[in-house]
Structure 1
Amino acid sequence: MPKGSGKPIPKVKVKKELPSDKGETLLKTLKDRFEKNMNRHKGLNWAKVQAKLEANTEKLKALHAMESTGGEPDVVSYDNKSDEYIFYDCSEQSPDRRSICYDKEGQQEREKKGVHPAGNAVDLAAAMGIELLSEDQYRELQKLGEFDTKTESWIQTPPDIRELGGAIFACHRYGHIFVFHNSAPSFYAARGFRGSLRV
């Protein structure tokens, strides 16, 4: 946790507005990533994904927010029932939305003590238009590669744990996935959060 430097931690900024090219650069980036990582989405076709994105500007804005904060979003599955493609933050290490508490209540508790984190995971995810990964989703992501080998990511915390003041995070160490707890006001330079988006 950042301590004693006296320097304020820059707030994480959410950039949802698409640049002047209306997302063309983002679409190219997403396409290139999709084609380089076919193991994450075997049998899926990029043209169908792109058609969905071009028909939904809000979803494209959410992906821009993920990309601009280092999430490197990519398609990880397709839901046949809802006809939706599912994106996760697939950056090797936790995205550049770090030094954040779990939620607003945790952030406010920390700020009352004169310490100002860069934000909180729950509110940032909402502002971006995405959802924090659940523990099950995090474990599914880890089947596609090794993520968070040097970092940690906040994940969705069950209400009963949160009511007692806690929150959970996960990481990958020693060839295993670890899910652990912390107090919700805690924040660390190596801990961000990963999100998901349905398109």
Structure 2
Amino acid sequence: MTKRDEINKELSQEQREALLNALKARFEKNMNRHQGLEWDEVQAKLDTNPEKLGSLHEMERTGGEPDVVGFDEREGEYIFYDCSAESPKGRRSVCYDLAGLESRKKYKPENNAIDMATAMGIELLTEEEYRALQKLGNFDTKTSSWVQTPADIRELGGALFCDYRFGHVFVYHNGASSYYGVRGFRGSLRV
């Protein structure tokens, strides 16, 4: 069974209820992240898109603490981001992508951010989304997170990551093959 198959399996009723309870509690505790939105409407959308619960379950399981951060009126979609204080623990120590991972001669990590996100059914945050997240609180004050990297940078072997220090969001570059115990990635999901 592939990692993708494991993630897309249907949640048990117990897992579904536990996840929805966690999401609802986080939603109600952090109303500043989604002013004007109602949980009942979010849950109704989740009920009609049960396949998205598998992705949210993986976000939760890997320490992302997903929460609603907005609603796209044009597309009619709620937007979830990983809102854990630090980069999700279950997604750290990974290279940026498979090419970066394969280019390592030794000390290869087990995975890479792009493939993990794809398997989870989520997208890495863009730099713009990362900056928007930081307007909702202070995230990654001790860690950092890979973000989507423009093709021209990636073609030259680089990748981008962000963090929050000294009251500012910083965007940095590193080789896509690099990995650190305090660098992971944050994802987004539209429902």
SS at match of 1:21: helix
In the aligned structure 2, how far is the partner of 1:116 from the partner of 1:167? Answer: 17
In the aligned structure 1, how far is the partner of 2:73 from the partner of 2:7? Answer: 30
Mapping of residues 116-127 of structure 1, within 5 Å: 116-127=108-119
In the aligned structure 1, how far is the partner of 2:13 from the partner of 2:110? Answer: 28
Mapping of residues 30-41 of structure 1, within 5 Å: 30-41=23-34
What residue number does 2:49 align with?
56
TM-score of the superposition, structure 1-length normalised? 0.90
SS at match of 1:23: helix
What residue number does 2:147 align with?
155
Mapping of residues 136-175 of structure 1, within 5 Å: 136-175=128-167
SS at match of 1:122: helix
Q: 1:66 aligns with which of 44, 59, 68?
A: 59
| Structure 2 gaps, min length 5 | 1-5
What residue number does 1:176 align with?
168
Aligned-pair identity in percent equals: 64
1:25 equivalent in alignment to 2:25: no
1:102 equivalent in alignment to 2:96: yes
What is the Cα deviation at residue 114 of structure 1? 2.5
- Contact map agreement 1:98 1:118 (CA 8 A) in 2: no
In the aligned structure 2, how far is the partner of 1:116 from the partner of 1:24? Answer: 37
| Structure 1 gaps, min length 5 | 1-13
CA RMSD of aligned residues (A): 1.1
Query: Which amino acid in 1 is paired with 2:64?
Result: G
**Number of aligned residue pairs:** 184
In the aligned structure 1, how far is the partner of 2:12 from the partner of 2:107? Answer: 34
- Contact map agreement 1:15 1:68 (CA 8 A) in 2: no
- Contact map agreement 2:7 2:119 (CA 8 A) in 1: no
> Which stretches of structure 1, 4 residues or longer, exceed 6 Å deviation after superposition?
none
In the aligned structure 2, how far is the partner of 1:90 from the partner of 1:22? Answer: 20
Query: Which amino acid in 2 is paired with 1:151?
Result: T
What is the Cα deviation at residue 139 of structure 1? 0.1
Query: Which amino acid in 1 is paired with 2:92?
Result: R
